[in-house]
Structure 1
Amino acid sequence: ITNVTVGAGPGTFPVAGFIPAGGVLRQRRNAGQIEAWGLEADIARTFGDLTLTGAVSATKAEVNGGSAAPQLTGNRPAQTPEYTVTGAADWKVGDRLTLSANLRFESARFEDDLNSRKLAASVGIDARAAWRLTPDSEVYLAAENLTDARIEVGETGDGTESFAAPQTFRVGFSLRR
């Protein structure tokens, strides 16, 4: 079940009414089958107070729309990157301070089921510093999208792009019980 493109504007459609120029009409439908082959691997290694982790996934995926959605046959499923690579480092700098960094790479992917709009590959970096107050609590400073990368997450039929959150800083308090 996925969002299947059934028409594009300008035009009038019985199930939706008028769709303007650049608009796209999609309907939740059974789109046949997806055949996917892939490989995933991860590793973690601790060196004293430093822990490094990494993971990679590679997926070859293809839609067979059959008679339900023949226009999708041979396409890659929407929003599915072929490669994803992540890495993280956690360093306990002392009894109270922990520094963390995370990196995530995603290869280009298609925004839509027809594979007509390609989203750019992206790299996101997050960082966090936490100061333990008690065994169950901490204060922290976190930075998401540290490099303020333009991470494309959507594109409409008329080319309007959507992006993930820009560089964001947070100060917080955590209590674990």
Structure 2
Amino acid sequence: MTVTPALIEAAKAGDSAAWTELYRLYQGRVLSFLTRRTGNRALAEDLTQDTFVRAMAGIGGYQFTGTDMGAWIITIARNLMLDHDKRRSTRRESAFETVADTDAGIRVEDLVMAIVEADRVFAALSALNDHQRTAVTLRYWGGLSSKEIATRIGLRVGAVKTLTYRARVNLRRTLAEEPSP
């Protein structure tokens, strides 16, 4: 089944079967996106559930435009992840606590360096404009083709390719300017 205006209207009306179908269609994509972005499967699962709770609360404001509803849901997921990161950074959690919980035969130093590197990449992503960040996120973390991204965000394929290229150039420049750990 694909997302249709009737399915969205049923979800807006609180139809649990419609929500079940939307969840079935998008849960895997959202979980994959969040797992790649956070590097933590348990956190990604929690954020995925929160994404669908927030989508249920905000569905009344969603307008079907003929593009894939997944972009709207992924945006919710991204915003939840960013909110989580902001809360985490203000609580001053230690990366070493996370390492101690997840050490499974991996050298702790390697895991800490991977976390630091991921933080650098996410900081560089935040420096991109919204269109570039969306295009590169859907391409490399969402695994979508340029054509699929164009359909989701309502742009031409050439525009998506240009956004992705410029995002990569900007990321490369930003990461080169920042000192490595």
Alignment TM-score, normalising by the size of structure 2? 0.26
Task: Determine which structure has the larger strand proportion and give its number.
Answer: 1
Return the structure number with greater helix share: 2
Structure showing greater relative contact order (alpha-carbon pairs closer than 8 Å, 6 or more residues apart):
2
TM-score normalised over the length of structure 1: 0.27
Answer with 1 or 2: which has the greater Rg.
Answer: 1
